[in-house]
Amino acid sequence: MKVLFFGDTVGRSGRTALLTHIPDLRRRLDLDLVVVNGENVAGGFGITAAICTELYAAGADVITTGNHIWGQREIIPHLDRDERLLRPHNFPPGTPGRGVGIYSTRGGKKAMVMNVMTQLFMDPLDDPFACVEAELAKVRLGVTVDAIVIDVHGEATSEKTALGVLADGRASLVVGSHTHVPTADWRILPGGTAYQTDAGMCGDYDSVIGMEKTEPLVRFRRKFSQGRLQPAQGEATLCGTYVETNDKTGLAVYIAPLRLGGKLAPAWPIATNEPR
């Protein structure tokens, strides 16, 4: 399978870039599964049902989120209706929505997508390690599902890496979101799981992690808020993680970053010659 994961999408700039490029990327990379982290897509905080519809129409298969999932209150009732919109699975029982799903891809294949949030420097949710372990015990990669993608939404690189180690050999891809900065550690772990600590953001990098620069500087320098944070509106860089898996085992055979447009140096996946 060919999988493309897009990191946190910030505001109108990131959303417009995704809507513009996803259809062409699906065709050029012959993608089986597109996962988008959309927790900042609506004005920088949260997501709406209308934006979900736009992203699905453009070619996104699943939308993951994170701690800003509640940024637009209208999304709360929608979470129980939309099976393709995920919030972190380790929210307490009874929280609206779901954090994991199994989705059909082309050719009759099945992919499990899971969204969890870490604990260090984040909201004190339930244990993400126990959460991931419990869900991986319910399926078998290469047998009951053809691919497993886990979006680890969190601050600490150590905690994300440890979750990658936990899932190694049992997931196709463990990829981080939340920090909005693409890391240079994409690789295939010893057990065959593709890993990257953070895919980066889809947004304007002439900013402070996607936000217009003035207000963040005020908050850092003066320790008070002068106004609301606003997404930067310049040209977005699309940042994503591309993975190819072995069709028999579901494990990764190739991982590479994708960066397109905006301020960051471009990066494009190179097709592999390894059997899939």
- Given a cut of 50, whether residue 165 has pLDDT beyond it is yes
Please, which pLDDT band fits residue 271 given cuts at 50, 70 and 90?
low
Residues 17-70 pLDDT 10s:
999 999 999 999 999 999 999 999 999 999 999 999 999 999 999 999 999 999
Write down the domain spans for the chain: 2-260
Give the tokens for residue 77. 């009732």
Which are the catalytic amino acids? Answer: 68
Q: What is the pLDDT of residues 174-201, one digit of tens each?
A: 999 999 999 999 999 999 999 999 999 9
Note the residue count of the chain. Answer: 276
Identify the pLDDT of residue 272: 55
Q: Which fold has domain 2-260?
A: Purple Acid Phosphatase; chain A, domain 2 (3.60.21)
- Are the C-beta atoms of 43 and 31 separated by less than 8 Å? no
Asked whether residue 235 carries a pLDDT value surpassing 70, the answer given is yes
pLDDT (tens digit, 9 = 90+) per residue, 240-252? 999 999 999 999 9
pLDDT exceeding 70 applies to what percent of the chain?
98
Distance of alpha carbon 246 from alpha carbon 250, whole angstroms: 5
Whether 203 shows a pLDDT value over 80: the answer reads yes
- Give yes or no for residue 253 having a pLDDT over 50: yes
Is residue 99 predicted with pLDDT exceeding 70?
Answer: yes
| pLDDT for the residue 270 | 87
Q: Which three-class secondary structure state does DSSP give residue 43?
A: coil
List, in sequence order, every beta strand (DSSP E) within the chain: 2-6, 33-37, 62-64, 100-104, 110-117, 147-153, 173-177, 187-188, 194-196, 238-245, 252-260
Residue 86 to residue 24: CA distance in whole angstroms = 25
Q: How far is CA 30 from the centre of its chain?
A: 19
What is the 8-class DSSP label of residue 209? T
224 vs 18, more confident: 18
Average the pLDDT over 131-135 and give the result.
Answer: 98
**Within 13 A of 145's CA, how many CA atoms are on the CB side?**
24
Q: Average the pLDDT over 117-123 and give the result.
A: 96
Predicted structure pTM score: 0.95
Question: What contacts 24+ positions apart, CB below 8 Å, involve 159-162?
Answer: 159/118, 159/119, 159/120, 159/128, 160/118, 160/197, 160/198, 161/195, 161/197, 162/129
Residues 49, 51, 55: CA angle, nearest 5 degrees: 120
Q: To the nearest whole number, what is the mean pLDDT of the chain? A: 95
pLDDT tens for residues 73-86? 999 999 999 999 99
Q: How far apart are CA 134 and CA 266, in angstroms?
A: 38
Query: Helices (H) and strands (E) in the chain — how many of each?
Result: 6, 11
Check if the beta carbon of residue 67 is closer than 8 Å to that of residue 153.
yes
Question: Does an H or E element contain 217, and which?
Answer: helix 214-222
Closest CA to 11 of 175, 201, 265, 178: 201
Please state, in angstroms and rounded to a whole number, the distance separating the CA atoms of residues 100 and 185. Answer: 25
Q: Across residues 209-213, what is the average pLDDT?
A: 92
Tell me what pLDDT residue 107 has: 83
